[in-house]
């Protein structure tokens, strides 16, 4: 079977949340099917990645995307009923590629609703809409935590995008979500459309415990640092949680690890004990140096790869309800759940004071992801989905 795979970013290398998932999807599909990729290239790294994919036999069509310019071009849409998201990711060049490739494909697989828009006109093609997260609900959460005028902008985006998601969901063959919670929200807001859960996984051979490298009272957060939920969570932690810990533990350190830190994030490095690394070649080195991984997100949906990766490395994790709601583990056994600043400080203090319990919590977290989140296991439903949607002809195997 020939699969046309669409994503907002070139799905390689797997060095950020969306690329981890999209690369794993492509890698799994190409074991038994021919996969051709259409994606946006946001920078030179994406362009180099597209060239690499082509060199290993994965036909990849990359369209340059200047997100800042695209956002400016999309602003007039605010006076109508079209989501700004569709303006930001709208592209005649991408549509032309999709139209050409869809004519030869057996299945269109779109990762994120904005990419699903390019498949809407191909009603005769079997189509899968993989919602990385239900974006309309994400914008709703943004609106709740924002002040005017952005509260109105985000609220409008939530409403208009939900209308678009309804249209896509009812016209595609299947809608895919990474957690049962996301699926439940989808079923409540878009009843009657087909849906299934395909969880994210974690590379257990890549993320392995390194307890000998751990540094006392070192708290680490990982994530792309121009993403609003990450920025908000780190600001909250640095301003509200860390000051509660410093009187008792004056040597406590909080390291924010991730590419593209905004000005707001960089200013956090001016606070005592806070370090902002910017881009690093390998987040494992920083996770290994941590005594605790923190996930203080107040806005989140889906599965947080940062939490899975920390658990896989045997780190004790202190996370909010938002950060851990997609992880089907047991709070207190696999990680510690703490929402308010006071709750997070108490949970961290408890682990600082009892290193043996911290080690035991980390070991239980590693055992949990070994049992539940191995990529080979979590993607078994993907194999069945492709078999179900395949045409009667024998699938075309990758050379």
What pLDDT is recorded for position 397?
42
User: Fold match between 2-198+379-389 and 211-372?
Assistant: yes
Confidence of residue 395 (pLDDT cuts 50, 70, 90): very low
Q: Residue 156 and residue 117: Cα distance in Å, rounded?
A: 19
Both tokens of 28, joined, read 């799994």
Residues 323/222, Cβ–Cβ less than 8 Å: no
CA atoms within 13 A on the CB side of 364: 16
**Cross-strand bridge partners of residue 196:** 176
Angle at alpha carbon of residue 100, lines to 98 and 106, rounded to 5°: 80
Quick one: pLDDT at residue 279? Answer: 95
Strands (DSSP E) contained in the chain are: 2-7, 34-41, 60-64, 107-111, 126-130, 174-177, 196-197, 218-222, 253-257, 274-278, 292-295, 317-319, 336-337
Helix (H, G, I), strand (E, B) or coil at 130: strand
Q: In whole angstroms, how far apart are CA 20 and each of 110, 219, 291, 325?
A: 15, 24, 25, 19
Average pLDDT, the chain: 95
Higher-confidence residue: 337 or 393?
337
Assess whether the previous peptide bond of 81 is cis (omega < 30° from 0): no
8 A C-beta contact, residue 279 and residue 259: yes
pLDDT of residue 392: 57
Confidence band for 130, pLDDT divided at 50, 70 and 90: very high
Order of strands across the sheet that contains 126-130: 60-64, 34-41, 2-7, 107-111, 126-130, 174-177, 196-197
Q: What average pLDDT does this structure show over 114-118?
A: 98
Does the domain formed by 2-198+379-389 have CATH 3.20.80.10?
Answer: no
Contact indicator for 66, 59 with CB cutoff of 8 Å: no
Residues 128-152, mean pLDDT to the nearest whole number: 93
Across 114-125, average pLDDT: 97
CA distances to 50, 143, 170 from 163, rounded to whole Å, are 33, 17, 11
pLDDT of residue 347: 98
Out of 37-51, 304-318, 362-376, 385-399, which region has the weakest mean confidence (pLDDT)?
Answer: 385-399
Q: Are 299 and 229 in contact (CB under 8 A)?
A: yes
Domain ranges within the chain, ordered by starting residue: 2-198+379-389, 211-372
Quick check: 187 pLDDT over 60?
yes
Name which of 23-37, 50-64, 85-99, 290-304 the model is least confident about: 290-304
Distance separating alpha carbons of residues 186 and 255, to the nearest angstrom: 35
Q: Is-contact 325 307, C-beta < 8 A? A: no
Task: Using CB atoms within 10 Å of the CB of residue 216, give its burial: 0 to 12 exposed, 13 to 18 middle, 19+ buried.
Answer: exposed
CA distance 314 to 157: 39
Per-residue pLDDT tens for 275-315?
999 999 999 999 999 999 999 999 987 889 999 999 999 99
Question: What pLDDT is recorded for position 399?
Answer: 40
In the CATH scheme, what is the homologous superfamily, with its name and number, of domain 211-372? Glycogen Phosphorylase B; (3.40.50.2000)
Q: What is the pLDDT of residue 396?
A: 44
| pLDDT bucket at 398, cuts 50 / 70 / 90 | very low
Rounded CA-CA distance 183/202 in Å is: 21
> At residue 393, does pLDDT exceed 60?
no
Three-class SS of residue 247?
A: coil
Instruction: Give the pLDDT mean for 201-217.
Output: 97
């Amino acid at each position: 079977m020939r699969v046309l795979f669409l994503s907002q970013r070139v799905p390689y290398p797997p060095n950020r949340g969306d690329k981890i998932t999209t690369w794993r999807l492509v890698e799994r599909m190409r074991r038994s099917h021919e996969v051709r990729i259409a994606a946006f290239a946001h920078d030179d790294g994406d362009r180099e990645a597209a060239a690499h994919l082509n060199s290993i036999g994965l036909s990849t069509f990359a369209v340059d995307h200047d997100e800042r310019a695209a956002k400016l071009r999309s602003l007039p849409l605010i006076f109508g009923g079209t989501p700004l998201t569709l303006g930001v990711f709208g592209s005649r060049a991408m549509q032309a590629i999709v139209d050409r490739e869809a004519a030869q494909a057996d299945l269109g697989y779109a990762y994120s609703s904005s990419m699903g828009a390019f498949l809407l006109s191909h009603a005769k093609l079997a189509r899968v809409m993989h919602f990385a997260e239900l974006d309309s609900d994400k914008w709703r959460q943004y609106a709740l935590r924002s002040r005017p005028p952005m509260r109105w902008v985000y609220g409008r985006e939530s409403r208009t995008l939900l209308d678009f998601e309804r249209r896509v969901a009812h016209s595609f063959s299947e809608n895919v979500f990474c957690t049962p919670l996301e699926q439940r929200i989808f079923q409540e807001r878009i009843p009657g459309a087909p849906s299934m859960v395909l969880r994210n996984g974690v590379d257990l051979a890549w993320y392995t415990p390194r307890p000998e490298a751990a540094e006392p009272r070192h708290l680490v957060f990982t994530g792309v640092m121009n993403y609003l939920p990450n920025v908000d969570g780190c600001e909250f932690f640095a301003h509200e949680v860390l000051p509660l810990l410093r009187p008792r533990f004056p040597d406590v350190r909080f390291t924010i690890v991730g590419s593209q830190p905004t000005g707001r994030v960089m200013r956090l490095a001016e606070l005592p004990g806070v370090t902002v690394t910017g881009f690093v070649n390998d987040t494992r080195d920083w996770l290994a140096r941590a005594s605790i991984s923190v996930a203080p997100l107040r806005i989140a949906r889906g599965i947080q790869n940062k939490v899975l990766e920390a658990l896989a490395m045997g780190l004790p994790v202190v996370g909010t309800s938002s950060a851990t709601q997609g992880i089907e583990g047991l709070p207190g056994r696999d990680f510690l759940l703490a929402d308010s600043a006071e709750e997070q400080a108490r949970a961290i203090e408890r682990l600082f004071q009892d290193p043996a319990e911290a080690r035991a919590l980390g070991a239980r977290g590693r055992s949990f992801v070994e049992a539940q989140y191995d990529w080979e296991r979590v993607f078994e439903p993907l194999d069945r989905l492709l078999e179900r949607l395949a045409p009667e002809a024998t699938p075309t195997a990758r050379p």
